[in-house]
Protein backbone atom coordinates (compact mmCIF):
# COMPACT_ATOMS: atom_id res chain seq x y z
CA UNK A 1 0.00 0.00 0.00
CA UNK A 2 1.27 3.45 -0.82
CA UNK A 3 0.50 6.78 0.77
CA UNK A 4 1.06 10.36 -0.23
CA UNK A 5 4.15 11.01 1.93
CA UNK A 6 7.71 9.82 1.54
CA UNK A 7 11.31 10.97 1.96
CA UNK A 8 14.68 10.10 0.50
CA UNK A 9 16.62 7.53 2.49
CA UNK A 10 20.04 5.96 2.00
CA UNK A 11 23.62 6.88 1.12
CA UNK A 12 24.01 10.22 -0.55
CA UNK A 13 20.71 11.58 0.74
CA UNK A 14 20.40 14.17 3.42
CA UNK A 15 16.98 13.07 4.66
CA UNK A 16 15.24 16.00 3.05
CA UNK A 17 11.67 15.55 1.89
CA UNK A 18 11.15 15.27 -1.83
CA UNK A 19 8.10 16.89 -3.44
CA UNK A 20 5.08 14.99 -2.15
CA UNK A 21 2.78 13.02 -4.43
CA UNK A 22 -0.24 15.05 -5.46
CA UNK A 23 -3.42 14.81 -7.43
CA UNK A 24 -2.82 15.04 -11.14
CA UNK A 25 -3.39 18.45 -12.60
CA UNK A 26 -6.59 18.43 -14.72
CA UNK A 27 -5.71 18.25 -18.41
CA UNK A 28 -2.12 17.14 -17.80
CA UNK A 29 -2.79 13.46 -18.63
CA UNK A 30 -5.78 13.54 -21.03
CA UNK A 31 -5.58 9.92 -22.23
CA UNK A 32 -5.26 8.60 -18.68
CA UNK A 33 -8.07 10.89 -17.52
CA UNK A 34 -10.42 9.63 -20.24
CA UNK A 35 -9.64 6.03 -19.35
CA UNK A 36 -10.19 6.63 -15.64
CA UNK A 37 -13.52 8.34 -16.35
CA UNK A 38 -14.68 5.16 -18.11
CA UNK A 39 -13.46 2.95 -15.27
CA UNK A 40 -15.11 5.20 -12.68
CA UNK A 41 -18.44 4.67 -14.45
CA UNK A 42 -18.02 0.97 -13.78
CA UNK A 43 -16.99 1.57 -10.16
CA UNK A 44 -20.07 3.70 -9.50
CA UNK A 45 -22.31 1.19 -11.29
CA UNK A 46 -21.21 -1.51 -8.86
CA UNK A 47 -20.80 0.70 -5.78
CA UNK A 48 -23.31 3.57 -5.97
CA UNK A 49 -22.40 6.47 -3.75
CA UNK A 50 -18.69 5.74 -3.61
CA UNK A 51 -16.29 8.55 -4.47
CA UNK A 52 -14.55 8.27 -7.82
CA UNK A 53 -10.94 7.20 -8.10
CA UNK A 54 -8.34 9.82 -9.00
CA UNK A 55 -4.94 10.03 -10.65
CA UNK A 56 -2.04 10.68 -8.27
CA UNK A 57 1.40 11.77 -9.42
CA UNK A 58 4.65 10.80 -7.72
CA UNK A 59 7.30 13.35 -8.73
CA UNK A 60 10.61 12.29 -10.19
CA UNK A 61 12.79 10.50 -7.64
CA UNK A 62 15.50 13.07 -8.26
CA UNK A 63 13.22 15.87 -7.20
CA UNK A 64 14.61 17.87 -10.09
CA UNK A 65 12.48 19.48 -12.79
CA UNK A 66 12.49 17.85 -16.21
CA UNK A 67 15.05 19.43 -18.52
CA UNK A 68 13.89 20.97 -21.82
CA UNK A 69 13.47 18.18 -24.33
CA UNK A 70 13.80 15.54 -21.62
CA UNK A 71 11.31 12.86 -20.65
CA UNK A 72 8.81 13.44 -17.88
CA UNK A 73 9.74 10.87 -15.23
CA UNK A 74 6.77 11.52 -12.94
CA UNK A 75 4.87 8.35 -12.09
CA UNK A 76 1.08 8.26 -12.22
CA UNK A 77 -1.11 5.91 -10.16
CA UNK A 78 -4.83 5.25 -9.79
CA UNK A 79 -5.66 6.21 -6.21
CA UNK A 80 -8.46 6.56 -3.71
CA UNK A 81 -9.59 10.17 -3.17
CA UNK A 82 -7.40 10.35 -0.04
CA UNK A 83 -4.27 9.59 -2.07
CA UNK A 84 -3.74 5.90 -1.23
CA UNK A 85 -3.13 3.42 -4.02
CA UNK A 86 -1.98 -0.11 -4.67
CA UNK A 87 -0.43 -1.55 -7.80
CA UNK A 88 1.64 -0.40 -10.72
CA UNK A 89 1.93 3.02 -12.30
CA UNK A 90 -0.20 3.63 -15.38
CA UNK A 91 2.24 5.70 -17.40
CA UNK A 92 5.19 3.31 -17.52
CA UNK A 93 7.50 4.26 -20.36
CA UNK A 94 11.10 3.89 -21.46
CA UNK A 95 12.53 7.35 -22.25
CA UNK A 96 15.62 5.76 -23.81
CA UNK A 97 13.34 4.12 -26.40
CA UNK A 98 11.65 7.42 -27.17
CA UNK A 99 8.35 6.47 -25.48
CA UNK A 100 6.00 9.39 -24.76
CA UNK A 101 5.46 10.29 -21.07
CA UNK A 102 1.82 9.26 -21.45
CA UNK A 103 0.92 6.10 -23.41
CA UNK A 104 -0.76 7.09 -26.67
CA UNK A 105 -2.72 3.90 -27.41
CA UNK A 106 -6.19 4.39 -25.92
CA UNK A 107 -7.01 0.68 -25.85
CA UNK A 108 -3.84 -0.22 -23.97
CA UNK A 109 -4.30 2.70 -21.59
CA UNK A 110 -7.87 1.65 -20.77
CA UNK A 111 -6.72 -1.87 -19.96
CA UNK A 112 -3.84 -0.67 -17.79
CA UNK A 113 -6.01 1.85 -15.92
CA UNK A 114 -8.76 -0.73 -15.34
CA UNK A 115 -6.23 -3.18 -13.95
CA UNK A 116 -4.68 -0.54 -11.67
CA UNK A 117 -8.11 0.60 -10.45
CA UNK A 118 -9.05 -2.98 -9.64
CA UNK A 119 -5.83 -3.45 -7.62
CA UNK A 120 -6.47 -0.28 -5.62
CA UNK A 121 -10.13 -1.06 -4.91
CA UNK A 122 -9.64 -4.70 -3.98
CA UNK A 123 -6.58 -4.12 -1.79
CA UNK A 124 -7.76 -1.02 0.05
CA UNK A 125 -11.48 -1.75 0.32
CA UNK A 126 -11.04 -5.51 0.74
CA UNK A 127 -13.87 -6.02 -1.70
CA UNK A 128 -14.10 -7.98 -4.94
CA UNK A 129 -14.69 -5.58 -7.81
CA UNK A 130 -16.10 -5.85 -10.33
CA UNK A 131 -18.14 -9.04 -9.88
CA UNK A 132 -19.92 -10.86 -12.69
CA UNK A 133 -23.68 -10.23 -12.32
CA UNK A 134 -24.37 -13.82 -13.38
CA UNK A 135 -21.69 -15.85 -11.59
CA UNK A 136 -20.94 -13.56 -8.62
CA UNK A 137 -17.19 -13.93 -8.99
CA UNK A 138 -14.48 -11.39 -9.72
CA UNK A 139 -13.77 -10.31 -13.28
CA UNK A 140 -10.60 -9.11 -14.98
CA UNK A 141 -9.85 -6.67 -17.81
CA UNK A 142 -8.94 -8.54 -20.99
CA UNK A 143 -9.19 -8.03 -24.75
CA UNK A 144 -12.62 -8.99 -26.04
CA UNK A 145 -12.91 -12.55 -27.25
CA UNK A 146 -10.10 -14.09 -25.22
CA UNK A 147 -10.22 -17.69 -24.04
CA UNK A 148 -9.46 -19.19 -20.66
CA UNK A 149 -5.89 -19.92 -21.76
CA UNK A 150 -5.10 -16.33 -22.72
CA UNK A 151 -1.97 -14.78 -21.21
CA UNK A 152 -0.48 -11.29 -21.10
CA UNK A 153 1.27 -10.62 -24.39
CA UNK A 154 -0.79 -13.12 -26.37
CA UNK A 155 -1.61 -11.98 -29.88
CA UNK A 156 -4.65 -14.16 -30.55
CA UNK A 157 -7.10 -11.48 -29.42
CA UNK A 158 -6.94 -7.77 -30.06
CA UNK A 159 -10.47 -6.61 -29.25
CA UNK A 160 -11.37 -3.66 -27.03
CA UNK A 161 -10.90 -4.20 -23.30
CA UNK A 162 -13.79 -5.92 -21.55
CA UNK A 163 -14.57 -7.21 -18.09
CA UNK A 164 -14.03 -10.94 -18.49
CA UNK A 165 -15.47 -13.70 -16.27
CA UNK A 166 -14.01 -17.17 -15.89
CA UNK A 167 -17.52 -18.62 -15.60
CA UNK A 168 -19.22 -20.85 -13.11
CA UNK A 169 -18.93 -24.55 -12.50
CA UNK A 170 -19.38 -25.20 -16.19
CA UNK A 171 -16.11 -23.24 -16.71
CA UNK A 172 -17.53 -21.36 -19.68
CA UNK A 173 -15.68 -18.05 -19.71
CA UNK A 174 -17.37 -15.02 -21.23
CA UNK A 175 -17.09 -11.30 -21.87
CA UNK A 176 -19.49 -9.44 -19.58
CA UNK A 177 -19.23 -5.81 -20.71
CA UNK A 178 -16.89 -3.35 -22.32
CA UNK A 179 -14.81 -1.49 -19.76
CA UNK A 180 -16.79 1.67 -19.08
CA UNK A 181 -20.15 0.07 -19.89
CA UNK A 182 -20.64 -2.31 -16.98
CA UNK A 183 -23.96 -0.68 -16.12
CA UNK A 184 -25.48 -2.18 -19.27
CA UNK A 185 -24.78 -5.69 -17.93
CA UNK A 186 -26.51 -5.15 -14.58
CA UNK A 187 -29.88 -6.78 -13.85
CA UNK A 188 -32.83 -4.60 -14.87
CA UNK A 189 -33.77 -3.33 -11.41
CA UNK A 190 -30.22 -2.37 -10.51
CA UNK A 191 -29.70 -0.76 -13.89
CA UNK A 192 -32.86 1.34 -13.57
CA UNK A 193 -31.94 2.40 -10.03
CA UNK A 194 -28.50 3.44 -11.24
CA UNK A 195 -29.96 5.50 -14.07
CA UNK A 196 -32.33 7.24 -11.64
CA UNK A 197 -29.40 8.01 -9.33
CA UNK A 198 -27.40 9.43 -12.26
CA UNK A 199 -30.30 11.66 -13.25
CA UNK A 200 -30.64 12.95 -9.67
CA UNK A 201 -26.92 13.73 -9.51
CA UNK A 202 -27.14 15.55 -12.84
CA UNK A 203 -30.07 17.64 -11.62
CA UNK A 204 -28.11 18.82 -8.56
CA UNK A 205 -24.97 19.87 -10.44
Q: How far apart are CA 46 and CA 63, in angstroms?
A: 39
pLDDT of residue 66: 47
How would you classify residue 94: left for phi > 0, otherwise alpha for psi between -120 and 50, otherwise beta?
beta
8 Å CB contact between 113 and 120:
no
Provide the pLDDT for residue 31.
94
pLDDT at position 92 is: 76
HSE-CB at 191 with a 13 A cutoff on CA atoms is 9
Name the region of 191 (left: φ>0; alpha: ψ -120 to 50; beta: rest). alpha
Q: Give me the pLDDT at residue 11, please.
A: 47
According to the model, what pLDDT value does residue 7 have?
35
pLDDT, tens only, 17-60: 657 899 999 999 999 999 999 999 999 999 988 999 999 999 87
Whether a cis peptide bond, with omega within 30° of 0, leads into 130 is yes
What does pLDDT average to in each consecutive run of 10 residues of the chain (205 residues)?
A: 44 56 94 97 92 93 46 84 94 65 81 96 96 92 86 68 88 92 82 60 56
Residue ranges covered by each domain of the chain: 22-63+71-203
* pTM: predicted TM-score of the whole model, two decimal places: 0.78
88-98 pLDDT, tens digit per residue, is 999 876 555 66
Amino acid sequence: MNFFSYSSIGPGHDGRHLPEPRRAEPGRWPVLEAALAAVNRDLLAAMPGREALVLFVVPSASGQPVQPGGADSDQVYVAMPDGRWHGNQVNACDPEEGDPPEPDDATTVLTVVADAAQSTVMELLRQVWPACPEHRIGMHPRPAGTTDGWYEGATDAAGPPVWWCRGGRDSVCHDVALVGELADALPGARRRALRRSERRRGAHR
